[in-house]
């Protein structure tokens, strides 16, 4: 069981707690010299590993654990200092190897046993670490954290723009947003973690002083050593202890500087240095010339300067020959000639050359580009994102991504909406101006460019920004250019919702329902009804302005009647009956009285007879019905009532299809769709004398 647990990777979670326990144990428990040697060697190896990892990272986030690594390595060095100090003060009188072979090697062999040289070397390392590397890395991390936080809104808006333009998927957008947040967190953590290294350098100085002073006191008072012997012994041990801690600290600080100072590319640090520092032969030739001239000056070390100058010139020559691309000779090799001929020939056509049309697109003239560019504070992409989300919540499915592109063939202020590559609407917008829409009750005209609201066709005028408040006082509805385009697009989405519901959207919708009610979808599609029939029913509902949010009711109705009814039109009528309460609530919110348009009894009977005989509407009757419907809609508008026609259930499909072509704003309901608890009042009648 334990072996399986370790194989499952759960043991990785023990690394942090075990390291903390080990650090605390080293601070409290006495350690033998042999264990100190192992731990000091491990500390050196760990610092080298950290430096190498930092050299091979492509970007800072590839080593996101570095702030935590910096903290743990600092604590490890300090705990080793505490453990070695204990051994030095307790056993230092026995000889230079009292604290282990590693400290002896650093204190004796590296500085030749000279405590004065060792002290100076130690101080130089501390100054380099504290004043140069750590201070520079901390400053870079501080500035990087500030810039990362300042740039975060712009980066997130750019991600949203790419998502709305269809350049990336939702999953890629979430990953990029997480990377932006992690980058800010990383530089903020590095800004604070650099203080650990600073404190470590100060602590190293203090520990070295304590070791020297404490060693003198312990050696002279407790072990009866003379001052010279105690000073030499404990000073060398203190220097060895300090060097064995400061060298790994210097390596870790260098790694920190490498991580925060690199610019994120697709190359590691070594590749960046070689590709950018030694990429220009002219630089190498100039450097060789300058160094060679210095080597010719009398009194200079001529051999060293001339040797380096010759090496730079040779390397520059090799680089120049390698970067040169010689033209193939007339008698060149066969492979080279074959490659040149292949490059000259046009590529064979492939399926990659087939460009699929975008399901939904928005093309803009060049003056409207700032409206869709986040770098220029464009708001339209954000509005489109909100429109898609609101549409999904209200209608019940997610429309395809709107692909936005500029079109230089358009007028500067023109835009067009395309559906499956075909233009379905066109309009104009004037950035910097406001569209004042006349709802029908304005008190005075406004100076500007007369036009019509592109979404609903109401009379409007483009006005200057300073006239906005005056227009609102006059009773106009005032919106900016981005809102005009967004409102137009939203209106078109609802108007063409049935065409936007493709086979893929239906599959995704059924998968979404199947997660909550898996048995319902599995039993219906494709066992009882094919996917195409379900799609047609949903499209019929959308064509009549019915939301398909209540997919559970729709699918349950289809499952109930699919055994006996297979026609999509009849299934749509049955689904409308099941959704009657929601349909009425959508048109008449609340529990108010339903004031609707009705049919004259005579016309009702004539239509039923025509429907029963299989014939259609006579031309004269159709024209009369259309004129009376237009007049009834006008009366409903004067009374601020919804244009709704209520007929008998068998007539609903016939009249809905006929009237929808000329009067799309008119909703046709059947008496069977109206809930029993709602009161019905007929305010206008079709079929009387006109």
Where among 435, 469, 495 does a domain terminate? Answer: 495
Domain holding 565: CATH number? 1.10.8.540
Report which secondary-structure segment, H or E, holds 596.
strand 594-599
In this predicted structure, the answer to whether residue 50 has a pLDDT above a threshold of 90 is: no
Per-residue pLDDT at 630: 92
Count structural domains, the chain.
5
Between 516 and 102, whose confidence is greater?
516
Contact between 214 and 82 (Cβ < 8 Å): no
Task: Say how far apart CA 513 and CA 131 lie, in whole Å.
Answer: 63
**What is the share, in percent, of the chain residues with pLDDT greater than 70?**
79
Q: Calculate the CA 415 to chain-centre distance.
A: 28
**What is the share, in percent, of the chain residues with pLDDT greater than 90?**
30
pLDDT tens by residue, 198-249: 676 677 777 777 777 777 777 777 776 777 777 777 777 777 777 777 777 7
Per-residue pLDDT at 569: 93
Tell me the pairing of strands 459-463 and 449-452: antiparallel
Whether 370 is in a domain gets the answer yes
Is 608 found in the same domain as 661?
yes
Question: Which of 10-14, 143-147, 253-257, 537-541: highest mean pLDDT?
Answer: 537-541
What is the greatest pairwise CA distance in the chain?
132
In this predicted structure, the answer to whether residue 348 has a pLDDT above a threshold of 80 is: no
Per-residue pLDDT at 217: 77
Task: Say how far apart CA 621 and CA 627 lie, in whole Å.
Answer: 10
Per-residue pLDDT at 198: 67
Give the residues across from 669 on adjacent strands.
Answer: 646
Q: Calculate the CA 637 to chain-centre distance.
A: 46
pLDDT tens by residue, 590-621: 888 899 999 988 888 888 888 877 766 788 88
In this predicted structure, the answer to whether residue 575 has a pLDDT above a threshold of 70 is: yes
Q: Calculate the CA 343 to chain-centre distance.
A: 39
Provide the pLDDT confidence category of residue 128 given band limits of 50, 70 and 90.
confident
In this predicted structure, the answer to whether residue 387 has a pLDDT above a threshold of 90 is: yes
Domain holding 641: CATH number? 3.40.50.12790
In this predicted structure, the answer to whether residue 643 has a pLDDT above a threshold of 90 is: yes
The pair of three-digit structure tokens given for residue 189, joined into one six-digit string: 């953590």
Q: 229 — alpha (psi -120 to 50), left (phi > 0) or beta?
A: alpha
Per-residue pLDDT at 73: 79
Cα distances (Å, whole numbers) of residue 154 to 148, 177, 435 = 10, 11, 29
Is 91 found in the same domain as 54?
yes
Whether 472 is in a domain gets the answer yes
Q: What is the 3-state secondary structure (H, E, C) of 642-659?
A: CCEEEECHHHHHHHHHHH
What's this model's pTM, rounded to 2 decimal places? 0.54
Cis bond before residue 526 (omega within 30° of 0): yes
In this predicted structure, the answer to whether residue 330 has a pLDDT above a threshold of 50 is: no
Provide the pLDDT confidence category of residue 327 given band limits of 50, 70 and 90.
very low
Is 522 found in the same domain as 650?
no
Question: Which of 166-180, 182-196, 408-422: highest mean pLDDT?
Answer: 408-422
Phi, psi values for residue 570, rounded to 5°: -65, -40
Is 445 found in the same domain as 369?
yes
Is 508 found in the same domain as 387?
no
Calculated CA dihedral for residues 649, 655, 656, 657, nearest 10 degrees:
130
Per-residue pLDDT at 648: 92
Which of 299-303, 623-627, 676-680 has the lowest average pLDDT? 299-303
Is 216 found in the same domain as 122?
yes
Per-residue pLDDT at 3: 52
Between 581 and 79, whose confidence is greater?
581
Which of 6-15, 239-248, 363-372, 532-541 has the lowest average pLDDT? 6-15
Per-residue pLDDT at 561: 93
The pair of three-digit structure tokens given for residue 72, joined into one six-digit string: 């743990």
The pair of three-digit structure tokens given for residue 168, joined into one six-digit string: 């990336």
Whether 274 is in a domain gets the answer no
In this predicted structure, the answer to whether residue 71 has a pLDDT above a threshold of 80 is: no
Q: What is the mean pLDDT of residues 478-483?
A: 92
b/e per residue 568-588 (b: at least 16 CB within 10 A): beebbbbbbebbbebbbeeeb
Which of 26-40, 192-206, 651-665 has the lowest average pLDDT? 192-206
pLDDT tens by residue, 395-441: 999 999 999 999 888 999 999 999 999 999 999 999 989 999 998 88
Provide the pLDDT confidence category of residue 8 given band limits of 50, 70 and 90.
very low
Between 455 and 40, whose confidence is greater?
455
Whether 302 is in a domain gets the answer yes
Is 590 found in the same domain as 517?
no
Per-residue pLDDT at 438: 92
Whether 6 is in a domain gets the answer no
Which of 145-149, 332-336, 410-414, 471-475 has the lowest average pLDDT? 332-336
Report which secondary-structure segment, H or E, holds 414.
strand 414-419
Is 256 found in the same domain as 288?
no
b/e per residue 537-547 (b: at least 16 CB within 10 A): bbbbbbbbbbb
pLDDT tens by residue, 243-300: 777 777 777 777 777 777 765 555 666 666 666 666 677 877 888 888 888 778 877 7
Where among 529, 558, 578 does a domain terminate? Answer: 578
Is 561 found in the same domain as 615?
no
The pair of three-digit structure tokens given for residue 116, joined into one six-digit string: 């004065």
In a 3-state reduction of DSSP, which class is residue 549?
coil
Task: Say how far apart CA 565 and CA 568 lie, in whole Å.
Answer: 8
Between 304 and 595, whose confidence is greater?
595
Is 111 found in the same domain as 249?
yes
In terms of C-beta density within 10 A (0-12 exposed, 13-18 middle, 19 or more buried), how is residue 127 classed? Answer: exposed
Per-residue pLDDT at 353: 74
In a 3-state reduction of DSSP, which class is residue 190?
helix
Residue 308 lies in domain: 282-319
Whether 550 is in a domain gets the answer yes
Q: What is the mean pLDDT of residues 459-472?
A: 92
Task: Say how far apart CA 48 and CA 65 lie, in whole Å.
Answer: 16
Whether 184 is in a domain gets the answer no
Whether 142 is in a domain gets the answer no
Contact between 88 and 99 (Cβ < 8 Å): yes
Per-residue pLDDT at 41: 82
Is 553 found in the same domain as 608?
no
Per-residue pLDDT at 266: 54
In terms of C-beta density within 10 A (0-12 exposed, 13-18 middle, 19 or more buried), how is residue 599 classed? Answer: buried
Task: Say how far apart CA 90 and CA 9 lie, in whole Å.
Answer: 42
Provide the pLDDT confidence category of residue 27 given band limits of 50, 70 and 90.
confident
In this predicted structure, the answer to whether residue 449 has a pLDDT above a threshold of 80 is: yes
Q: Residue 448 has what DSSP assignment?
A: S
Domain holding 398: CATH number? 3.40.30.60
Where among 440, 474, 495 does a domain terminate? Answer: 495
Q: What is the 3-state secondary structure (H, E, C) of 487-514?
A: HHHHHHHHHCHHHHCCHHHHHHHHHHHH
Contact between 77 and 200 (Cβ < 8 Å): yes
Q: 590 — alpha (psi -120 to 50), left (phi > 0) or beta?
A: left
Is 593 found in the same domain as 488?
no
Per-residue pLDDT at 690: 45
């Amino acid at each position: 069981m334990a072996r399986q647990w370790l194989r499952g990777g759960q043991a990785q979670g023990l690394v942090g707690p075990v390291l903390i326990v080990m650090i605390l144990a080293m601070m409290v428990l006495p350690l033998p010299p042999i264990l100190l040697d192992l731990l000091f060697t491990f500390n050196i190896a760990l610092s080298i590993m950290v430096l190498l990892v930092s050299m091979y990272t492509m970007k800072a986030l590839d080593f996101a654990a570095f702030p935590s690594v910096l903290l743990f390595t600092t604590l490890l060095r300090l705990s080793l200092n505490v453990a070695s100090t204990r051994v030095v003060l307790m056993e230092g009188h026995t000889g230079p190897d009292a604290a282990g072979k590693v400290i002896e090697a650093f204190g004796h062999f590296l500085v030749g046993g000279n405590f004065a040289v060792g002290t100076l070397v130690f101080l130089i390392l501390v100054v380099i670490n504290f004043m140069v590397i750590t201070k520079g890395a901390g400053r870079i991390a501080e500035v990087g954290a500030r810039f990362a936080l300042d740039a975060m809104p712009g980066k997130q808006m750019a991600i949203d723009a790419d998502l709305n333009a269809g350049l990336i998927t939702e999953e890629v957008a979430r990953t990029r947003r997480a990377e932006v947040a992690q980058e800010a967190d990383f530089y903020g953590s590095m800004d604070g973690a650099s203080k650990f290294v600073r404190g470590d350098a100060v602590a190293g100085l203090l520990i070295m002083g304590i070791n020297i002073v404490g060693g003198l006191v312990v050696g002279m008072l407790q072990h009866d050593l003379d001052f010279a012997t105690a000073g030499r012994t404990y000073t060398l041990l203190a220097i060895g202890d300090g060097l064995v801690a400061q060298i790994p600290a210097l390596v870790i600080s260098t790694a920190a500087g490498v991580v925060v100072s690199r610019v994120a590319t697709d190359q590691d640090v070594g590749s960046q240095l070689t590709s950018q520092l030694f990429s220009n032969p002219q630089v190498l030739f100039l450097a060789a010339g300058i160094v060679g001239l210095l080597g010719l000056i009398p009194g200079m070390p001529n051999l060293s300067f001339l040797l380096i100058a010759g090496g730079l010139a040779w390397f520059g020559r090799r680089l120049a020959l390698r970067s040169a691309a010689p033209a193939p000779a007339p008698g060149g090799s066969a492979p080279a000639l074959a490659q040149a001929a292949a490059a000259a020939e046009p590529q064979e056509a492939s399926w990659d050359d087939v460009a699929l049309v975008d399901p939904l697109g928005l093309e803009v003239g060049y003056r409207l580009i700032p409206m869709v560019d986040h770098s220029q504070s464009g708001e339209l992409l954000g509005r489109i994102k909100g429109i898609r989300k609101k549409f999904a919540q209200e209608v019940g499915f997610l429309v395809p991504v709107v692909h936005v592109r500029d079109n230089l063939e358009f007028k500067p202020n023109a835009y067009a909406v395309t559906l499956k590559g075909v233009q379905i609407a066109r309009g104009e917008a004037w950035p910097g101006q406001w569209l004042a829409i006349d709802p029908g009750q304005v008190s005075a005209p406004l100076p500007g460019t007369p036009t019509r609201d592109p979404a609903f066709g109401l009379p409007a005028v483009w006005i200057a920004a300073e006239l906005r408040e005056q227009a609102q006082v006059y009773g106009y509805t005032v919106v900016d250019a981005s809102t005009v385009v967004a409102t137009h697009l939203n209106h078109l989405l609802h108007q063409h919702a049935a065409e936007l519901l493709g086979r893929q959207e239906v599959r995704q919708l059924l998968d979404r329902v199947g997660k909550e009610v898996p048995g319902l979808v599995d039993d219906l599609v494709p066992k009882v009804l094919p996917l195409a029939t379900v799609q047609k029913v949903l499209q019929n509902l959308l064509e009549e302005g019915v939301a398909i949010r209540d997919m559970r009711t729709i699918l349950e109705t289809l499952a109930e009647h699919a055994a006996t009814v297979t026609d999509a039109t009849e299934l749509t009528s049955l689904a409308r009956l099941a959704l009657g309460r929601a349909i009425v609530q959508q048109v008449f919110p609340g529990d108010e009285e339903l004031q609707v348009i009705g049919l004259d009894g005579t016309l009702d009977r004539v239509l039923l007879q025509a429907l029963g005989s299989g014939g259609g509407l006579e031309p004269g009757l159709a024209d009369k019905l259309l004129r009376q419907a237009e007049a009834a809609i006008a009366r409903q508008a004067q009374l601020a009532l919804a244009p709704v026609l209520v007929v008998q259930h068998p007539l609903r499909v016939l009249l809905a299809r006929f009237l929808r072509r000329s009067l799309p704003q008119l909703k046709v309901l059947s008496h069977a769709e109206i809930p029993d608890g709602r009161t019905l009042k007929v305010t206008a009648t079709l079929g009387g004398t006109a």
